[in-house]
A = this chain, B = another copy of it.
Amino acid sequence: MNLQNRFNQIAQLDISGYGKDFLLTWEKTDDEIIATLYLAELFREMHQQGLSFKTFETGLAISIFRDKSTRTRFSFASAANALGLAVSDLDEEKSQIAHGETVRETANMISFMTDVIGIRDDMFLGEGNAYMREVAKAVRTGFEEGTLHQRPALVNLQCDIDHPTQSLSDLAMLKQAFGSLENLRGKKIAMSWAYSPSYGKPLSVPQGIVGLMTRFGMEVTLAHPEGYGLIPEVIDLASKQAIASGGSFSIVNDMKEAFSEADIVYPKSWAPYQVMEKRTELLKSGDKDGLASLEKEALANNARFRDWECDEEKMSLTKDGKALYMHCLPADITDVSCEKGEVSKAVFDRYRKDTYLEAGFKPFIIASMMFLGRLENPVNKLDEILTKKENRL
């Protein structure tokens, strides 16, 4: 599809209530989700054609990473740079946050000339998203009070509840793999827990997937061993969305059952909701012995499900044995990154290229969120950019 057609598609959507922040996909209307996706595709197409979509003459994009990250960090840096923003990382060790500044004050102090703030805070249940909302509220109030001349947009780069830049990249991948969003209707996706030799992985990826894919008429199956449930609110939401979209949502305790006749499989480890809750409490109270025994217990529990591995045998159960394998990366690959992991070497190798492609949507998804959240009139600006057709080199 040419650039102008892509633009026309976006211009027809209602994004008048998009808002400044992208915190949870289910806070956005279908039109807003689709606009985010289409704009990301448009930016990607421009990048492939060597065209610039620089939007800002100058401006800052601040990142706050409260967990390690490679791909999200560089996706954020790439997105900001492509729009013309310089990245400045708020390193909480170097800053005076360590000195007891309130979130409100810091959020304002860093935002005087800032256009975008991206936050990753996914370690503690009940904390990450709440922190983002606190920052969002602080800069909104700062703007209303006249402290800030402009209200920075906020992008959730992964929290305890959702991972919208990931789930939307995954949606972009699915759209490309199956031809259109319409074609996703009736397709079966198995979001399955998988074994990992580590513990404490966030719940945001599976929650993000069931929270987004149930909106597109897909047959979404969540599979996990008993006791590895997700946050109840997200489960409720997924059920309701599935009904509304004409799809389905079910939970099974058997990986093979989930894989059976699936068009797409997404095998990925996570920590049980209850373990994460307990862990958050122990971390807060600084109970090291408690943490050690929780880890031991959790790993021992994981070990009971070592057969939850995505191997060729399970892949053969999928639709024509050819389901699309997805992963947010990095995967725990048996005999590569660990002795026994989420996926066998053979399966991963076959789909490696696809997982890279999946990841490649992320910088454009983030750029799209920044653009739609920050600009007063994104469609006009987009028109202007497409009219200029400036080369990047």
Most-contacted residue by chain B among A86, A94, A113, A329 (CB, 10 A):
A113
CB-CB under 8 A for A363 and B113, given A86-B87, A393-B55? yes
Interface size class of A (residues with CB under 8 A): 35 or more
A68's nearest neighbour on chain B, judged by CB, is: B96
Q: Does B393 lie within 8 Å of A113, measured CB to CB?
A: no
Note all chain B residues with C-beta closer than 8 A to A99: 68, 330
Note all chain B residues with C-beta closer than 8 A to A363: 112-113
Within the complex, which residue of B87, B112, B381 is in contact with A393, where a contact is CB–CB below 8 Å? B381
**Residue A233 interfacial (CB < 8 Å):** no
Q: Tell me, rounded to whole Å, the shortest Cβ–Cβ distance linking A339 to chain B.
A: 12
Note all chain B residues with C-beta closer than 8 A to A110: 70-71, 74
Note all chain B residues with C-beta closer than 8 A to A1: none
Q: Which of A158-166, A183-191, A317-325, A353-361 contacts B (4 or more CB under 8 A)?
A: A353-361
**Residue A289 interfacial (CB < 8 Å):** no
**Residue A57 interfacial (CB < 8 Å):** yes
Q: Does A81 lie within 8 Å of B147, measured CB to CB?
A: no
Q: Does B96 lie within 8 Å of A70, measured CB to CB?
A: yes
**Residue A97 interfacial (CB < 8 Å):** yes
**Residue A100 interfacial (CB < 8 Å):** yes
Q: Does B58 lie within 8 Å of A82, measured CB to CB?
A: yes
CA distance A98 to B198 in the complex (A): 14
Q: Which of A101-109, A212-220, A250-258 contacts B (4 or more CB under 8 A)?
A: A101-109
CA distance A100 to B65 in the complex (A): 20
**Residue A95 interfacial (CB < 8 Å):** yes
Within the complex, which residue of B69, B83, B390 is in contact with A96, where a contact is CB–CB below 8 Å? B69
Chief secondary structure at chain A's binding surface:
mixed
Q: Tell me, rounded to whole Å, the shortest Cβ–Cβ distance linking A73 to chain B.
A: 7
Note all chain B residues with C-beta closer than 8 A to A95: 68-70, 73
Question: Considering the complex, which residues of chain A in the window 348-375 have a beta carbon less than 8 Å from any beta carbon of chain B?
Answer: 353, 356-357, 359-360, 362-363, 375
CA distance A101 to B75 in the complex (A): 17
Q: Does B57 lie within 8 Å of A391, measured CB to CB?
A: yes
A93's nearest neighbour on chain B, judged by CB, is: B68
CB-CB under 8 A for A90 and B70, given A100-B337, A356-B147? yes
Q: Tell me, rounded to whole Å, the shortest Cβ–Cβ distance linking A52 to chain B.
A: 4
Within the complex, which residue of B77, B98, B393 is in contact with A88, where a contact is CB–CB below 8 Å? B77
Excluding A77-B86, A100-B338, A101-B337, 10 further A-B contacts by CB distance (< 8 Å) are A54-B58, A56-B392, A57-B390, A68-B95, A70-B109, A81-B86, A101-B330, A102-B336, A102-B337, A109-B329
- Lowest 7 A-B CB distances belong to which pairs? A78-B113, A70-B95, A147-B356, A52-B57, A71-B109, A74-B110, A77-B88
